[in-house]
Structure formats: structure tokens, C-alpha cells
């Protein structure tokens, strides 16, 4: 699709391919994250008159047609999209244009040296104790001690007679939405379909990440 038929937005979705390193002009090695560029198509236009706010719904993660259910297929067909996308997400914008329905998102606004924010789902660590999960210090490791890596006291007396909400305790660690701000684009290569970002980004390999123009730059 030519760039004339694409839409420029401040947000798009990619797929984390892993990490590597490159060398800059001075010979220093730069650690980078490789983001695989995937198609992002506008599958719905939310308007103030109909929905009460203005936003674009973006469809991504193309799959085989048999792996996408009928409601999603019908939704994409209504937007004039002939590809089988499985994931959808909304991006709010100051103003929308209904004519952009079915168009692909352009990446020309993300050249090298662009500052971005990257959002992803952090890696899962399973069930973890308070020392690993919340950086507790723990107790003495001597043989006579009965307190090594346990939580310790979690409440008061009969008053209030309960455990306060948000108490730091053992539990499921990771699998949270994390955002890393003010990362820099090192290279955008649309021909080979990758984006290089300086440093690390949240998420595991093959996970989907949201890339947005930096909010604080």
C-alpha cells in the first residue's frame, strides 16, 4: 500500500523479536531491541455523535482465517478489511476522519532519533515470596533464628482486626502492563520490516508492544 493511502498516528503496535547490538559511527556498541513491524489497520472510527468520544480502533496480529472467529470477521468485513486480524485496541485522537476506515497506519513519523514510549506485558515470574517480589530484607540466617525469608507480621491487634488492602505479600509476580518512557529509535527499516529501539522494552519474545510518541519530550 502506498504512503498516500496510509494514515499518520502517534501510536502503532509491533512485535518484540528480541535484543541484539549495533555499532555507532564512533565504534561504540549500542544495545537495541528489535521490533518486528506488523500491519496496523483502522477497523473502526469512534465519533463524538455516535460513541461520545473520538478515537480510532486499530486491528493487528494477522492470523489464518480459520483461527479468527465469526464476530471478528464480520467486524473486519464491515470496515472493508480483507485480512484476518485477531487483536484490537483503541487510540484516542483529538479529531477523527471517517474516511480513514480500513486504511493502514503509516510509520513515516517514527524515523531514527525519535523519542518514544513503549508499553508491554512484563514477563511472568510465577509465585514469588516477598524478598524477590517486594525487595524485603528478610531476617537473620543463623541457625537459632526462626525468621529467614518469611513475610513477618501483616496486621495489628483486634483493632482494626483485618489486613489492610495493598499489603505487600507473596503472590503472582510479573504479567503486568509496564511502560518505559523516553526511549530512542535507532533505525526504522520498513523494507525489511523492523524497528531498532535503544535499550530494553518490557515483555517477552514475540510479545506485542505499543509504541507511542514520547509524552514527556
- Give the tens place of pLDDT for each residue, 26-67: 999 999 999 999 999 999 999 999 999 999 999 999 999 999
| 188: preceding bond cis by omega (within 30 degrees) | no
Task: Check whether residue 117 and residue 145 sit in a common domain.
Answer: no
Say whether pLDDT at 5 is over 90. no
**pLDDT one-digit tens code per residue, 85-115:** 999 999 999 889 999 999 999 999 999 999 9
Split into its structural domains, the chain has a count of 2
- Both 87 and 139 in a single domain? no
Which of 22, 186, 17 is CA-nearest to residue 110?
186
Are the CB atoms for 13 and 208 separated by under 8 Å? yes
The answer to whether residue 179 is domain-embedded is: no
Instruction: Write the Ramachandran bin of 203: left for phi over 0, alpha for psi from -120 to 50, otherwise beta.
Output: left
Using omega within 30 degrees of 0 as the cis cutoff, is the peptide bond preceding 160 cis? yes
Q: Within a domain: residue 178?
A: no
Torsion sign, CA atoms 85, 89, 94, 98: positive
Residue 18 confidence (pLDDT) above 80? yes
Q: Are residue 12 and residue 106 in the same domain, yes or no?
A: yes
Closest CA to 107 of 40, 199, 180: 40
Q: Are residues 60 and 21 in the same domain?
A: yes
Based on the fold, state whether residues 119 and 132 are members of the same structural domain.
no
Cα end-to-end span (Å), the chain: 31
Question: Per-residue pLDDT tens for 136-181?
Answer: 999 999 999 999 999 998 988 888 899 999 999 999 999 999 999 9
- Same domain membership, residue 104 and residue 90: yes
Residue 138 lies in a domain: yes
Question: In which band, very low, low, confident or very high, does the pLDDT at 68 lie, cut at 50, 70 and 90?
Answer: very high
Same domain, 116 and 167: no
Instruction: Work out the average pLDDT over 7-30.
Output: 93
The pLDDT of residue 1 is above 90: no
pLDDT of residue 178: 96
Q: Which domain holds residue 208?
A: 3-124+184-213
Amino acid at each position: 500500500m502506498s504512503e498516500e493511502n496510509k494514515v499518520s498516528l502517534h501510536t502503532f503496535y509491533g512485535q518484540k523479536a528480541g535484543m541484539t547490538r549495533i555499532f555507532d559511527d564512533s565504534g561504540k556498541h549500542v544495545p537495541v531491541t528489535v521490533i518486528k513491524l506488523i500491519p496496523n489497520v483502522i477497523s473502526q472510527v469512534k465519533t463524538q455523535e455516535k460513541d461520545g468520544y473520538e478515537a480510532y480502533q486499530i486491528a493487528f496480529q494477522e492470523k489464518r482465517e480459520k483461527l479468527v472467529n465469526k464476530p471478528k470477521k464480520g467486524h473486519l468485513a464491515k470496515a472493508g478489511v480483507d485480512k484476518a486480524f485477531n487483536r484490537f485496541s483503541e487510540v484516542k485522537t483529538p479529531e477523527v476522519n471517517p474516511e480513514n476506515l480500513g486504511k493502514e497506519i503509516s510509520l513515516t513519523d517514527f524515523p531514527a532519533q525519535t523519542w518514544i514510549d513503549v508499553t508491554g506485558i512484563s514477563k511472568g515470574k510465577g509465585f514469588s515470596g516477598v524478598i524477590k517480589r517486594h525487595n524485603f530484607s528478610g531476617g537473620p540466617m543463623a541457625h537459632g533464628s526462626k525468621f529467614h525469608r518469611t513475610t513477618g507480621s501483616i496486621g495489628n491487634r483486634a483493632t482494626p482486626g483485618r489486613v489492610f488492602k495493598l499489603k505487600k505479600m507473596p503472590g503472582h509476580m510479573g504479567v503486568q502492563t509496564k511502560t518505559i518512557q523516553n526511549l530512542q529509535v535507532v533505525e526504522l527499516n520498513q523494507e525489511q520490516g523492523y524497528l531498532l529501539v535503544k535499550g530494553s522494552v518490557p515483555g517477552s519474545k514475540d510479545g506485542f508492544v505499543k509504541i507511542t510518541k514520547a509524552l514527556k519530550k
